[in-house]
Structure 1
């Protein structure tokens, strides 16, 4: 309710009612935000701890102890630092009292102008859409892994247990069509909480199984520099897999695309940037512990022969029921994470449609679904048809490109530098008026340049990996 409307009601003698009703809205006229540091942490953890954590043993194997462990630590520190810079841009020009920026693109436009805003939008929405495709592939691999685990258990580890991913991708797509009718980001708290719990569950199982294998004395051979050049590995192979490993690690920290939307769910006071920084610290430090554990213990358990995904690549066969449980946790987590990454895409498309056709009932009209006298749900024509088409297209693309590690590396390499580093750094420089060529300016530019080089070499490695995979796997006919 606007201030003018409230003043009119005060003059009409209904001031108490108006003030009570006004308490349901924030300073921008939108419904009162209810998010806390814990709900924001749950959203971030759901976004961070994803399928990429299961590839960290493989990534560490490519880099070795001398490269893998420091890389994980450095990526963690950079991500936390730049995420905090991004948190200060939610309101502008002042981070506490300024105007709200509801999306990443709005933050960039308010600080860096229209051209940077368009560039940010392209990268962000390609990233979000790509994450959905990657999650569809990963969920299907985990569902097939459950079936394969039971097959190996009953027929032996040498059995030919090959199954198509396509039915599982289609099944996930159908389920996500129903979940996509959740109207906005603010309604995802319960789903994100469940997904965050699931991510801890399967990461813990992977860590526990790796630790048990190490304690039993069955750990693989590890080296300081990782996979060694030899008969099966040429210097070129080593170089490309090292690049792809950097892309995989970058992917595990590629969650900046949804940080602004998460921050927009927070209530205040205290100021949103203060709460968001606490959530960033909690989430990044928590996930780094899991990342280090999965990467290091997984590498110690499997050595230089670590599989691309330690729970679906069948580094472990027994206990088969625990492998099944871990993969079930992965699927449940992905169901929630899928919605976390698609909601900003839906919001952007629907906001554009409302601005273009403001009087269309198909776009703005809501059809309440009631049970008795209570409205339990509301259907909207654009939401129903538009989101359904998006899920269908994402599912078809996932069926056409079913390459796990290569897709992770490509997504990570394409989006880590611009979204996680470049835009937060440039906005911070602009907002705080850091003098050009000063020591602080040079250090921030050096950070951005180094991360750009990492993204560039990771992109080269991932493109080479996808090219190799396309030569050996036919789209729509992928079996694992």
Structure 2
């Protein structure tokens, strides 16, 4: 039996009516009148690891190959340090004006509105949500490649490593999208902890498998593996122009590998009020970033040692490894499961933004604002909203269609990383910290923060240029209806 519920007032991220109207006592409410948050250091760390250790780890051996033994690890460590530093600044901005006792800001845009205001709110929204949509498209591409790789792996095992074994990606994109349509009915970020923990476990599993296989390949020894301090060699592996473009693209791939600022505020909004959210979030960021950096350096450097300058763009699906085939299959299944969860982490802010805006724009529209409580055996009451069902289903279908049109792994990652790194990971956190702490213009702190911001802008521009050039090359060479090698 369905019971009709009308949303009023305190709507956010697809949440039901104001808690006081539903008869929930004050002891079950937080200081903003919303249901008491239950997130902890563990759940926040799981969200971060799910968001950070993603498909980016698979391209790091290729990225190190473009940059070499000196620049490759150095760029990884630099991005790690910058990401952690700016995430601590952003964590302090969740509440305003005081980072512990101030008013809560529920989304990245709310934080920018509270500290900067003006046109920067719209610019932040544009950068954040375009990036979130792009990441969900990228994860659709990557998950489908991993699912197709299972079938290709079995084909290679049966028919030999030199068989073409072309497998269409499109059916797997449809399978991934079908799963996401179901999971997208999870009402909001606060209900995703179990999925993030599962996804985090999967990310550790496939990263460890890739690392282990790389170590085994290095131990095996191979005379044709070439590495160098500067990466791929001009005149041997690539032309001078290709070296420049691939270097820029590699920087973009590494930037993408650390992209989680877009969902940091939403993750922080799941935390309990005590201890203070900013302190817990800083610890979670440290755990998340340091853990992923360790994996990144190991996977990137050991992967480069294993494959040298011929490292594939994705060492588990580009078939840097063929055997043991069952372990390759398991790793790719882990990638797919992880990306199923990661997709939800990144799309929930998009869902919440659109649903909140529509609810405020048309508050009396029954299709948008009415929820029906349905009793589900072994689950309990579930609130269904028809607008949420339709809109989220359409969103998943659109991202799947775009993924079918642009199935290019490395260049897509690089472009996403370049586009999001400077505005969301560097510029806005620094500007908001300067405004919140009231740092005087041209003081020492103000000056070096500005230098950091401008330096990162230059890095983002060159990385974007490399990725755009790579995409243009891929589009020209693209042959539809066949799985791309992604090598």
Q: Could you say which TM-score interval applies, normalised by the shorter chain?
A: over 0.9
Deviations 1:343-379 (A, max 9, x none): 0000000000110111222112112222469734221
Give the TM-score, by structure 1 length: 0.94
1:179 equivalent in structure 2: 183
**CA gap 1:425/1:26 in 2 versus in 1, 3 angstroms:** same
1:230 equivalent in structure 2: 235
Deviations 1:33-78 (A, max 9, x none): 0001110000000000000101000000000011001110010000
Measure the CA separation in 1 of the matches of 2:199 and 2:399.
21
1:47 aligns with 2:47: no
CA contact (8 A) 2:376 2:382 kept: no
CA contact (8 A) 2:63 2:72 kept: yes
Measure the CA separation in 2 of the matches of 1:182 and 1:432.
37
Measure the CA separation in 1 of the matches of 2:368 and 2:468.
39
1:263 aligns with 2:257: no
Match of 1:141 among 129, 132, 145: 145
CA contact (8 A) 1:143 1:331 kept: yes
CA contact (8 A) 1:61 1:304 kept: yes
Measure the CA separation in 1 of the matches of 2:376 and 2:265.
35
Deviations 1:118-142 (A, max 9, x none): 0000000000000000000000100
| Cα displacement (A) at 1:432 | 0.6
Match of 1:157 among 161, 182, 185: 161
Measure the CA separation in 2 of the matches of 1:347 and 1:294.
35
Measure the CA separation in 2 of the matches of 1:338 and 1:371.
25
User: SS state of the match for residue 366, structure 1?
Assistant: strand
> Unaligned regions of 5+ residues in structure 2, if any?
1-21
**CA gap 1:328/1:116 in 2 versus in 1, 3 angstroms:** same
2:319 equivalent in structure 1: 314
CA contact (8 A) 1:402 1:475 kept: no
**CA gap 1:372/1:303 in 2 versus in 1, 3 angstroms:** closer
| Cα displacement (A) at 1:430 | 0.7
Give the TM-score, by structure 2 length: 0.93
1:121 equivalent in structure 2: 125
Match of 1:103 among 93, 103, 107: 107
1:344 equivalent in structure 2: 349
1:170 equivalent in structure 2: 174
User: SS state of the match for residue 28, structure 2?
Assistant: coil
1:202 aligns with 2:206: yes
Deviations 1:217-243 (A, max 9, x none): 237221000000115511000000000
| Cα displacement (A) at 1:216 | 1.7
Deviations 1:103-153 (A, max 9, x none): 000100111113101000000000000000000000010011100100000
Measure the CA separation in 2 of the matches of 1:34 and 1:50.
25
CA contact (8 A) 2:168 2:481 kept: no
CA contact (8 A) 1:410 1:459 kept: yes
CA contact (8 A) 1:148 1:162 kept: yes
Deviations 1:168-223 (A, max 9, x none): 00111111001000000000000000000000000000000001111122372210
CA contact (8 A) 1:123 1:415 kept: yes
Deviations 1:363-396 (A, max 9, x none): 1211222246973422101110000000010000
Measure the CA separation in 1 of the matches of 2:367 and 2:269.
27
Measure the CA separation in 2 of the matches of 1:19 and 1:278.
35
1:383 aligns with 2:388: yes
**CA gap 1:379/1:99 in 2 versus in 1, 3 angstroms:** same
Aligned residues: 463
Measure the CA separation in 1 of the matches of 2:357 and 2:160.
55
**CA gap 1:374/1:405 in 2 versus in 1, 3 angstroms:** closer
Match of 2:426 among 414, 421, 428: 421
Measure the CA separation in 2 of the matches of 1:129 and 1:44.
18
Measure the CA separation in 1 of the matches of 2:38 and 2:222.
49
CA contact (8 A) 1:401 1:475 kept: no
User: SS state of the match for residue 229, structure 1?
Assistant: coil
Match of 1:324 among 316, 325, 329: 329
2:12 equivalent in structure 1: none
**RMSD of Structure 2 on Structure 1 (CA):** 1.5
**CA gap 1:408/1:374 in 2 versus in 1, 3 angstroms:** closer
**CA gap 1:234/1:183 in 2 versus in 1, 3 angstroms:** same
Measure the CA separation in 1 of the matches of 2:376 and 2:182.
18
User: SS state of the match for residue 363, structure 2?
Assistant: coil
User: SS state of the match for residue 23, structure 1?
Assistant: helix
User: SS state of the match for residue 382, structure 2?
Assistant: strand
